[in-house]
Amino acid sequence: MKILAVGMNYAEHNKELNNSLLLQNPVIFSKPESAVIRENKPFFVPDWAQRFDYETELVVRINRLGKNIPERFAYRYYDEVTLGIDFTARDLQSELRSKGLPWEICKAFDGSAAVGEFISKTELPAIQNIHFHMDIEGQTVQTGWTGDMIHSVDKIISYVSQFFTLKTGDLIFTGTPAGVGPVSEGMHLTGYIEDRKVLEQRIK
Ligand code: MG
């Protein structure tokens, strides 16, 4: 199982990170299986960077083998979605970016991919019309609407499948809306798709 993730997929988030880039194709990075946190297990803040941010993202689970998937057929390759947190060592990312280096150590470390409870897409609005939000101690800190994505879920699946064979169980993190921020020990994050709680994440 692998995780493919999209960077800079919501215009408002790109502004908050001072990225004016509007790229023709999605920006893709990956995380290994060892990055996954499931079943509400806690995120332990590592000691090798100063600032770890939450990024709340719609996550799509691939349900069949696929390569070179045309965009118009991409919907057949997933039937469940959830919310995930793309934990990012922000200070380290800034340093790597400034040097033009790869992002793996700031984005793909152990525990950097929290994954919630999956919901059948048949129980939700259309894939590009889903609202989600993340609360910290009951206060909403991030809200997203998939209609604001720069690159749609189907486009992302089609695009990445040119380079990577998709397999059952692979996860696609589709990018974060604006509102990212740092986590600290003791925080409790709760993620909702529409009004359904799908993710609880404790920070330790
Ligand atoms: Mg992200």
Task: Give the pLDDT confidence score for residue 132 in this predicted structure.
Answer: 98
**Could you give the count of Cα atoms lying within 13 Å of 69 in the half-sphere of its Cβ?**
26
pLDDT (tens digit per residue) in 135-155: 999 899 999 999 999 999 999
Rounded Cα distance, 176 and 55, in Å:
5
In angstroms, what is the span from residue 37 Cα to ligand 1's centroid?
15
In angstroms, what is the span from residue 175 Cα to ligand 1's centroid?
5
pLDDT (tens digit per residue) in 23-39: 788 999 999 999 999 98
CB 36 within 8 A of CB 113: yes
Assigned token pair, 149? 């994505």
Residues surrounding ion ligand 1 at CB below 5 Å = 55, 86, 176
In angstroms, what is the span from residue 142 Cα to ligand 1's centroid?
13
- Average model confidence (pLDDT) for the chain? 95
pLDDT (tens digit per residue) in 110-129: 999 999 999 999 999 999 99
Judged against a pLDDT cut of 80, whether residue 19 lies above it is answered with no
Q: Which of the 8 DSSP states describes residue 123?
A: G
Assigned token pair, 43? 């995120």
pLDDT-derived band at 22, boundaries 50, 70, 90: low
CB 6 within 8 A of CB 173: yes
In angstroms, what is the span from residue 124 Cα to ligand 1's centroid?
22
Q: Which amino acid is at 70?
A: P
Task: Give the pLDDT confidence score for residue 21 in this predicted structure.
Answer: 62
In angstroms, what is the span from residue 65 Cα to ligand 1's centroid?
24
Distances (CA, A) of 38 to 16, 118, 201: 29, 11, 9
In angstroms, what is the span from residue 99 Cα to ligand 1's centroid?
20
Rounded Cα distance, 136 and 116, in Å:
16
- Rounded to two decimals, what is the model's pTM? 0.96
Q: What is the mean pLDDT of the segment spanning 168-185?
A: 97
In angstroms, what is the span from residue 55 Cα to ligand 1's centroid?
5
In angstroms, what is the span from residue 57 Cα to ligand 1's centroid?
7
Single out the residue of 54, 12, 6, 18 nearest to residue 178, CA to CA: 12
Judged against a pLDDT cut of 90, whether residue 53 lies above it is answered with yes
- The C-alpha R_g of the chain, in whole angstroms, comes to 16
pLDDT-derived band at 188, boundaries 50, 70, 90: very high
